[in-house]
Amino acid sequence: MSRTPDITVPDLTGRRAVVTGASDGVGLALAGRLAAAGAEVVLPVRNPAKGRAALATIRGRTPAADVSLRELDLSSLASVAALGATLREEGRPVHLLVNNAGVMTPPERQTTTDGFELQFGTNHLGHVALVGHLLPLLQAGRARVTSQLSVAARSGAVHWEDLQWERSYAGGRAYSSSKIAFGLFALELGRRSAAHGWGITSTLAHPGVVPTNLLAARPEVGRTRDTPQIGLIRAMSRWGLIGTVETALLPALSAATSPTARDGGFYGPDGLGHVRGGPAEQPLYRPLRSREEAARVWAVSQELTGVSLDGDGARPPRTAGRG
């Protein structure tokens, strides 16, 4: 009988970790592992009730866990800015940032508070803005920033011709576009850090295929019932054909904590099709390999969010004609 894969997490005592999307699923399990290793873990959540339940789960497994909640709605740039201001006022360096939260394939096109297509605005732009607002704390902590991608990023492209999917909407393609843009941003973050001496290491991860709530009923994205896919995914997980939440967290955990994880490294399951297994470094997906595309994402993302990542102050976000 095969053993369930796992990794040894180094002692994280004295280190502050911020994990988005940690109120359930992979993010919750990941935050629990970081807390068990001694990190002070901050959970920025949109739903306070789910956040309190997440705290109870983590403390139930690690009674001495140093874990706390903050407010964050990644679909609102004002909310992201408020969290950034709160954490900067607290004055603690951030040593680990795991950009894990996301939304997937709303059945109809929806927009964020700021008018962006929901997946692009939440999965990508919300996290870009968060990195920008936390940049002084990340530099102070010589942080490891880990960005959670998806197997959906292995095909497709950034939808430059209509970034906000205003002319037509295809949920799956929009999801892929958001994750490719986010991966390109993460790679460019590492390059800019190296060029400017920020001390930030940027790693990427993907969980494989796992039965989380991304495809389950989510009224907040207009999905009132589970998708047909999630039933099949849950069954495949039970049969051992794909991963579980406990194994799916391992690539991001390794990317965030392993002493051997390298800047620009991409980590995912090592099994057949990279949908399950233990964590291992993998070749970058083809849509992530263009440095020119990454530089373009870097520039456009700052323009859209109004958040500077180049040390020249805040900018007014674009509110119309986003492309």
N-term to C-term CA, the chain? 53
3-state secondary structure 121-185: HHHHHHHHHHHHHHHHHHHHCCCEEEEECCHHHHCCCCCHHHCCCCCCCCHHHHHHHHHHHHHHH
How far CA 82 is from CA of 44, 53, 79, 267, 311, in Å, comes to 11, 23, 5, 31, 19
Residues with Cβ within 8 Å of residue 226, at least 6 apart in sequence: 215, 216, 217
Q: By the 8 A CB rule, do 31 and 22 touch?
A: yes
Catalytic residue among 169, 175, 267, 285: 175
Q: By the 8 A CB rule, do 30 and 99 touch?
A: no
Q: By the 8 A CB rule, do 294 and 185 touch?
A: yes
How far CA 118 is from CA of 20, 42, 76, in Å, comes to 16, 24, 10
> Which residue is associated with the tokens 């939260």?
101
Task: Tell me the sheet residues that pair with 279.
Answer: 269
* Torsion from C-alpha of 280, 267, 102, 217, nearest 10 degrees: -20
Helix (H) or strand (E) holding 280: strand 279-281
Annotated active-site residue 175? The verdict is yes
- Which residues are part of the catalytic machinery? 175
